[in-house]
């Protein structure tokens, strides 16, 4: 499963990328606002750091305007994936941009039927929002599983990009189900390394070696 990092904070992206933990990046207007930077300049810098897809989201809501914005975003770098919402206009924009050779990430997916439409429109990625479904007492992972079954049934090439990932259990479940990609904030990716027994074991090892008075260097 590929790891995308869900942030517009360049330093955090660079740190994780240096460890080989970044296969791509997802951004959105809310994350750009948090970064405090201009959408074009920060997106260009992210693309210079990461070789994989970098999702940059349109802000328009009508198809023709989305297409125009998508073309402008796509000019930033070859690894831009234009991000459009899963609306009828968004699907129109997806088809047009894909026909023009751009990668497209269709976002804000909350049903398997929506995912099917995105795949039919040629989406490079479909982004079902796991955490937001959990927030309203629906099973976000059940959606990932439904989409996986449907895409496998018919050989769709659209990659399942599990989004709104908030916990390490979300990551594990996505990997078990077979999501192609998961995107998560840097803190969630870092927390995958945490386990209390690792901490306990390390503390015991350090205590024992200290008793010997030995050092390697």
- Catalytic residue (one of 72, 83, 92, 95): 83
Distance CA(217)–CA(205), nearest Å, equals 17
User: Which of 55, 48, 51 lies closest to 23, judged by CA?
Assistant: 51
Cβ–Cβ under 8 Å, residues 45 and 79: no
Known catalytic membership, residue 34: no
Distance CA(163)–CA(85), nearest Å, equals 13
Whose tokens are 């994989």? That residue is: 52
- Using CB atoms within 10 Å of the CB of residue 144, give its burial: 0 to 12 exposed, 13 to 18 middle, 19+ buried: buried
Q: Which two tokens stand for residue 7?
A: 């942030």
String of DSSP letters for 34-54: HHTS-HHHHHHHHHHH-SS-E
Q: Which helix or strand (DSSP H or E) is residue 162 part of?
A: strand 159-162
Active site residues: 83
């Amino acid at each position: 499963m590929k790891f995308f990092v869900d942030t517009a904070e360049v330093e955090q992206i660079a740190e994780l990328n240096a460890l080989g933990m970044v296969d791509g990046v997802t951004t959105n207007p809310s994350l750009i606002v948090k970064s405090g930077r201009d959408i074009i300049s920060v997106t260009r810098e992210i693309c210079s750091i990461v070789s994989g897809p970098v999702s940059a989201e349109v802000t328009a809501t009508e198809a023709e305007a989305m297409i125009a914005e998508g073309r402008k975003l796509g000019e930033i770098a070859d690894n831009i994936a234009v991000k459009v919402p899963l609306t009828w206009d968004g699907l129109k924009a997806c088809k047009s941009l894909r026909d023009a050779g751009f990668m497209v990430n269709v976002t804000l997916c909350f049903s398997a039927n929506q995912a099917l439409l995105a795949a039919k429109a040629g989406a490079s990625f479909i982004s079902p929002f796991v955490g937001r479904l959990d927030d309203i007492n629906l099973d976000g992972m059940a959606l990932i599983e439904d989409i996986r079954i449907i895409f496998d049934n018919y050989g769709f090439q659209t990659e399942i990009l599990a989004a709104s990932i908030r916990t390490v259990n979300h990551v594990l479940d996505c990997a078990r189900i077979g999501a192609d990609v998961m995107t998560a904030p840097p803190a969630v990716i870092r927390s995958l390394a945490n386990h209390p027994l690792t901490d306990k074991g390390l503390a015991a090892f350090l205590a024992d070696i200290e008793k010997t008075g030995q050092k390697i260097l």
